[in-house]
Amino acid sequence: MNFSKYRKDFPVLDKVVYLDNAATSLKPRQVIEAMDYYYKECPVNIHRGVYRLSQEASAVYEECHERLARFFNCSPREVILTGNSTDALNMLMYMLYNSNYFKKGDEILTTVYEHHSNLVPWQFLCQKLGLKLKFVEITRDYNFDLDDFKKKVTPRTKLVTFAHISNTIATIAPVKEIVDFLKGRGILVCVDGSQSAPHKKIDFKKLRVDFFVCTAHKMLGPTGVGVLVARGKLLENLSPVRFGGDMIAHVSLEKATWNDLPSKFEAGTPNISGAFGTIAAIDYLERLGMDSIAYNDKKLLEYALDKLNLEGVTIYNPKNPKMQGSIVLFDMEGINSRELSTLLGDYSNIATRAGMHCAEPIISRFNKEGLVRASFYFYNTKHDIDLLAKALKEIHKKF
């Protein structure tokens, strides 16, 4: 599929070579227009009024749950709208905490390459409850070490949580093999899909996990909208973590009862304009086709890995493009990552990300001063990669 014709929907591409998609994707004009419609035509609260505008906004907010449910193949009652992936993971942590799921000595297993949002909440919980946090290592070629994972699962393991695709080394976790190994052990499984949901078809039922989180702003949608997908039977028994309007069924001065799913976990006025924008983003992605996006990503990645195999440049990704997402993590000898990223922007107007990437444990293992990340999406082109390679050659020659 030729995606170049869609670049016109992203006017900022006339101003910058945008290679920071792992941080956030660009927003097409259709998403911006959908959010503008809310603020111009029905800028009211939901689930409160019986007048027409409130009913219209309420219907769109509920439709957002339904559209996301179809997109991820789950029930609308299993879709909780949050602020972002970080918010969703924090909510999950507090759900388990408030529900007394863990007891002292239990174990949580994650990986050494997690984003801080899938690390720090579990550090906090372990310190709070006396749990043990364990880490799956990577192999020499930056892949998920399945053998190490199997060794570290014990009878005390209660939760396994990991990134579907790493936001740094871009490792794709072997979800099927992980779930198969854990079958029948009564261990909860959470997948952080922040980097996978924008790039590949996600089928929650086929994943066979308990929780899946992602964020709209990395998949063409607005900031301030995250998604926590969870098995309905689990949500029925888990405690809410935010209390107030809309999450209650009945309230007296002495007690309250909770609303039905997913409202039970969505207290207060939500990001209503974000729901309008998220629907438009899903429309856009479905029109392109997630399989087409995934195929195009792989072609761009293969091209990038070839073009960026340059003198003075070290790449920190799996050697097999089939084993990684559309991210190239690298550094250049003799130059700080932030300086390198700044030079790419100043000389060639190329937007990359530099530093620790909210994953300091894994990045500092390779370079204490950080690394540069170039990340691609369907609206990027081979020409973008050519410009990056040319700029890196010039910088290396000069410095």
Instruction: Enumerate the active-site residues.
Output: 358
CA distances from 313 to 64, 166, 266, 356, 396 (A): 44, 21, 47, 18, 9
CB atoms within 10 A of CB 2: 7
How far apart are the C-alpha atoms of 87 and 41, rounded to whole Å? 29
Instruction: List all residues 6 or more positions away from 307 whose beta carbon is below 8 Å from its beta carbon.
Output: 385, 386, 388, 389
Structure tokens at 107: 């174990």
152 vs 363: CA distance, rounded Å? 23
Half-sphere exposure at residue 138, Cβ-oriented, CA atoms within 13 angstroms? 27
Q: CA of 350: how far to CAs of 18, 19, 25, 390, in Å? A: 6, 7, 15, 11
Tell me, rounded to whole angstroms, the distance of Cα 40 from its chain centroid: 30
Tokens of 209: 């996990």
CB 75 within 8 A of CB 138: no
Alpha helices in the chain (DSSP H): 29-41, 52-72, 85-98, 120-129, 146-152, 175-182, 204-207, 232-237, 272-288, 290-307, 337-348, 360-366, 382-398
Strands 79-82 and 226-230: antiparallel
CB 216 within 8 A of CB 226: yes
Residue 31: name the closest of 202, 225, 290, 213 by CA: 225
Tokens describing residue 322: 């089939």
Handedness of CA 382, 387, 390, 391 (dihedral sign): negative
159: which strand partners?
108, 188
Answer left, alpha or beta for residue 268, where phi above 0 means left and psi between -120 and 50 means alpha.
left
